[in-house]
Amino acid sequence: MSDGRKAVVVGGGIGGLAAAIGLRLAGWSVTVLEREKALGEVGSGLSLAPNALEALDALGVGERVRSVTHPSGATANLRTPDGRYLMRYRPGKDTPVAALHRADLHEVLQSALPPEVVRLDAEVVGVNGAEVHYKGGSLAADLIVGADGVHSALRRQGWPEAPEPPFRHCTVWRGVTEPGSTGPIEGSVTIGRGCYFLIHPLRGDRLYWALGARAEEPSRPSPSEHAVVRERTEDWHDPIPKVLVATRPDHVLRHDIHDLDPLPAYVKGRVALLGDAAHAMAPDLGQGACQAIEDAVELAAAVGGAGDLDAALAGYNARRLPRTHKIQREARRKCDITMSTAGMPYALTTFLLRLTPQSLAQRSARRVWAWDAPEITS
């Protein structure tokens, strides 16, 4: 598996595990340092667009991931809070996304790695040249991968000039219904003034939902986030009330949305950033996890068999910057529109969506999804 080249991946989330899989395919010895005491993703779901599925195929885990997904037409099934359809999903014509629970994706990625690859309770405290220092020890590495999220410690150290991730004036509640509690419900996005409600069907007769809403300041703890969501959507169309009743109140999560201003580079020396550490973005295009998995494939392909590692990392940087910057900007623009509570922008948005031909909307989505996975060689 290894020709002596060693990589340390900081962060055991989706991007970090995908990077570890890719680097091992490229012939590297890999250690993942994860600060949590247990590995896993809990609590909510996500969707994978075709570009992410292609990236997972390149990592050799695509079919296993597909086996734990459910098709969702949410991106083409748009409604208003009173239930009117702005756009309807057309089976056989529109491309569904693959919806799944985060824990299921994380489990597939984790199972593709030998247990000894991941070190838990190993919070990284800094990088000194080619050495990674963490609570409990240090590791020398030829390559250090920063996959430690939007508040990345590696980014703070290596890119001190980069501003802190700005709050997007958006907070999101997420939940998953109890198995078999609702019956079949189609995926959809309901667009309100300064808010939206997303539904994705999941494997196992469950639904993943998310309520995004404008927030003037970061959130404060609430006695019941579930009650807050129900109050905000109490007069919204069916099946939204049914979905919330089918969700355990103690399983509702709330997160404020932060993104990053585009960085000038994702590589400094032998440190390469990926995923949210490099280009955290608003969730409005559904590309956060997708771009992290793309990064993992691009990085592995760049450094696999590379005689000149610096040149390989420069190639990774050059390929990823234009694509991720464009998607970051588009996600931020869409978030700003969606989170506007003004009546005129909302009326204009819903009016234009009603007039937009379905084929044109699909072409717009496919432009975001358009990406060809490079081959990973050792």
* 39 pLDDT higher than 80: no
* 139 pLDDT higher than 70: yes
pLDDT digits (tens, 9 = 90+) for 69-127: 999 999 999 999 999 999 999 999 999 999 999 999 999 999 999 999 999 999 999 99
Q: Which residue has the tokens 């005491």?
A: 37
Residue type, 158: G
pLDDT digits (tens, 9 = 90+) for 169-218: 999 999 999 999 999 999 999 999 999 999 999 999 999 999 999 999 99
Strand, helix or coil for residue 6? strand
DSSP letter, residue 222: -
Looking at the whole model, is its pTM more than 0.75?
Answer: yes
Class of domain 6-72+104-166+259-341: alpha beta
Domain positions in the chain are: 6-72+104-166+259-341
19: its two tokens: 């990077």
CA distance readout (Å), 11 to 54, 242, 286, 309: 23, 37, 21, 22
Percent over 70 (pLDDT), the chain = 98
What pLDDT, on a 0 to 100 scale, did the predictor assign at position 350? 93
151 — pLDDT class (breaks 50, 70, 90) = very high
* 1 pLDDT higher than 50: no
Q: In the structure, how many helices (H) and strands (E) does the chain have?
A: 12, 19
Spatial contact of 283 and 208, defined as CB atoms under 8 Å apart: no
Spatial contact of 96 and 51, defined as CB atoms under 8 Å apart: no
pLDDT digits (tens, 9 = 90+) for 259-315: 999 999 999 999 999 999 999 999 999 999 999 999 999 999 999 987 899 999 999
ω before 262 within 30° of 0 (cis)?
no
